Amino acid sequence: MGETSLKVKKTTSNHIKFVNALLNDIEALEMMITANLFESDNIRIGAEQEVCIVNEDFKPADNAIDLLDKINHPQFTTELAKYNIEINLLPQLLQPGCFAAMENDLKDKFQLAANHAATNNTKLVLAGILPTISRNEISLEYLTPLERYHMLSKKLRDIRGRQFDLYLKGVDELHIRHDSIMFEACNTSFQTHLQIAPEEFVPAYNWALAISAPVLAISSNSPLLLGKELWSEIRIALFQQSIDTRHSIDEIREQRPRVTFGKDWIYNSITEIYKEDITRFEVLINDDINENSVETIQSGNVPQLRALRLHNGTIYRWNRMCYGITDNKPHMRIECRYIPAGPSIQDEIANAAFWVGLMKARPENVKKIWEHFDFKDVKSNFFKAARSGVESVFVWRGKTISAHDLIKNELLPLAHEGLKNCGFSNEEIYVYLGTIEKRLSSSTGSQWQVRNFRNLKKEMNVSDALNALTEFMHDQQKQNTAVCAWPDIQIPAALKKQVANMRIVKQLMSSDVITVFPDDPAALVDQIMKWHDVNHIVVEDRKGNLVGVVTSGRIAEIAEINPLFGELPVKKIMRKDITTISPETEITDALEIMKNLWISSLPVVTNNKLMGIVTKNDMLRWMALKG
């Protein structure tokens, strides 16, 4: 899907031609494996960095296309949303110095993009999921205006036949129905590639599956979505659910999600993966394929396998086999897709080094991995890691072990051995694996975010806490400090900074509003006010429309003249003439309204839907902190 020149052909004849080209590519791939045509004398690593663009308030921006035009560099490209871009790093030979070269390349490109972003008063942030993303930015208005993205969104929606459902339950719970694939745009990652020698295709891919859980656990950096504390690495569930084309997950007939860990090991050839994907998943995109791959091989040339690559790009395995050509030599590489962006560039390179070290230290006795690991355990471990991160407990070689102990006592020494075998010195290895080890005694990105978000919420509303969290992450990333060394956010300073930047009501309002329905009894309203020590309750109908407000004064007035007031429905005593404001109202204007009308609260509405409320106490607190 990264091809900007893609032309989608929608006719039946074009579909048939594309599928036949896909089958031809599979045959060609098998011929190349049999003839041992793949490069084996060089091993390279590479990476793709997905980046979030934010405005001055650290909310998602919408200027990706303009930013890419200004950068004007072939290593940069678009992503699904207007607030994301991707940096493609130059491949490096796997040898001493390659991780430092990758880090320097990324720092240079990141700074180049940040400099251009600053000219539009925007900034760049690394986050598995940007904490400040709201429902507003998960609309098609923020979809990158390129045909292939619109086509993909429409095609997936058409296949599903109805809206997408998102349901996640962690400490908090999130259940949303949405009409496009834009929740996918919340996910940003640091996708790492490792070229694989031909004789290692099958055992290396299986080993990549086995180590996925512990690598994900120590790398986790995506615990928050829409102000909810959910999984340690929400991206895993969010990506699958955001583009799930299955008609119903309740159906008896088994169906496969397009985002997948896989169903089993591969036993004989990597073509098992592609054959399974062609069998199970409908072609989403196609294009004119002019090459006959088999004939290309027979003529002594290297085929592009373009149909296979296009289809493979729409099947989102967390460990994906990718075909490529370098200097007219074909190669296969494993793309590790589950590592999140951030917390810092230093952390990302450490994650890559840990994964590569483990891949290069594959134990000889796991060549037939199914004799040592149960695939169901390995898959279960992966989702445990997504839910609980480094606090998970895994089943490893049939025995129960904590993620912490597995990484510290077995996998870190194994990764060290793998890098040592590639020629790295102990000093160079410690630069990267030392960062991983230090997280075990301090924090992963997810643990740091959760701890600081909880602390910030003690003194701020959710929106301000998310802003403060994102701003602090941005500041630490500018210094390229590893998360194991990040201090906790000092709340007084963060609070003062947030208040100083507040201009409009949505930055001050509380979205946690107690409401009642028009047919609720007045006695309920009276008790709720006493329980929560408030002097007003907002009334909304069953569709979420604001219809009135009841005050403690009104309750006292009715109670004095009607001893049976508690049996009256709220609609009989509520006031319908309500003064409201929009989320974009200036705070100073809202304060003037409250003063002039002698009222203690203002409901905040959009299209008559209640968004939040601003109270007298909010205003007093704002003025005190504003100084």
| pLDDT tens string 396-413 | 999 999 999 999 999 999
Query: At 69, is the pLDDT very low, low, confident or very high (cuts 50, 70, 90)?
Result: very high
pLDDT of residue 445: 98
Half-sphere exposure of 510 (CA within 13 A, CB side): 18
> Class for domain 12-441, per CATH?
alpha beta
Q: Measuring CA to CA, how many Å separate 377 from each of 185, 240, 337, 399?
A: 30, 20, 20, 10
Section 188-195 average pLDDT: 97
In single-letter form, the type of residue at position 396 comes to W
Q: Measuring CA to CA, how many Å separate 414 from each of 230, 390, 409, 464, 603?
A: 32, 18, 9, 43, 59
| Among 134, 217, 140, residue whose Cα is nearest residue 436 | 217
Torsions phi, psi of 266, nearest 5?
Answer: -100, 145
Neighbours of 250 (CB within 10 A): 6
Half-sphere exposure of 97 (CA within 13 A, CB side): 1
Report residue 259 as tokens.
Answer: 């985002």
pLDDT of residue 139: 84
**Which position has the higher pLDDT, 150 or 187?**
187
β-strand partners of 317: 260
Could you tell me which CATH number the domain at 507-626 has? 3.10.580.10
Section 347-370 average pLDDT: 96
| pLDDT tens string 565-604 | 788 899 999 988 889 999 899 999 999 999 998 888 899 9
What global pTM score does this model have? Answer: 0.85
Q: Give yes or no for residue 4 having a pLDDT over 60.
A: no
pLDDT of residue 5: 47
Largest CA-CA distance found in the chain, in angstroms, rounded: 99
Q: How far apart are CA 288 and CA 284, in angstroms?
A: 14
| Among 343, 337, 348, 340, residue whose Cα is nearest residue 449 | 343
| pLDDT tens string 509-560 | 877 788 999 999 989 989 998 998 888 889 999 888 899 999 888 888 888 8
Q: Where are the beta strands (DSSP E) in 274-422?
A: 316-317, 319-326, 329-336, 393-396, 399-402
pLDDT of residue 291: 92
Q: How far apart are CA 349 and CA 310, in angstroms?
A: 28
Q: Where are the beta strands (DSSP E) in 55-162?
A: 76-78, 84-88, 92-93, 123-125
Q: Give yes or no for residue 422 having a pLDDT over 90.
A: yes
pLDDT of residue 386: 96
Query: Residue 86: helix, strand or coil by DSSP?
Result: strand
Report residue 558 as tokens.
Answer: 């009715």
**What are the residue ranges spanned by the domains of the chain?**
12-441, 507-626
Section 24-30 average pLDDT: 96
pLDDT of residue 250: 47
Q: Give yes or no for residue 609 having a pLDDT over 90.
A: no
β-strand partners of 84: 52
| pLDDT tens string 147-161 | 777 777 777 666 655
**Which position has the higher pLDDT, 239 or 7?**
239
Cβ contacts of 141 within 8 Å, gap of 6 or more: none
Q: How far apart are CA 459 and CA 593, in angstroms?
A: 26
Query: At 57, is the pLDDT very low, low, confident or very high (cuts 50, 70, 90)?
Result: confident
Q: Give yes or no for residue 217 having a pLDDT over 70.
A: yes
Section 341-354 average pLDDT: 98
Q: Give yes or no for residue 247 having a pLDDT over 80.
A: no
Neighbours of 542 (CB within 10 A): 8
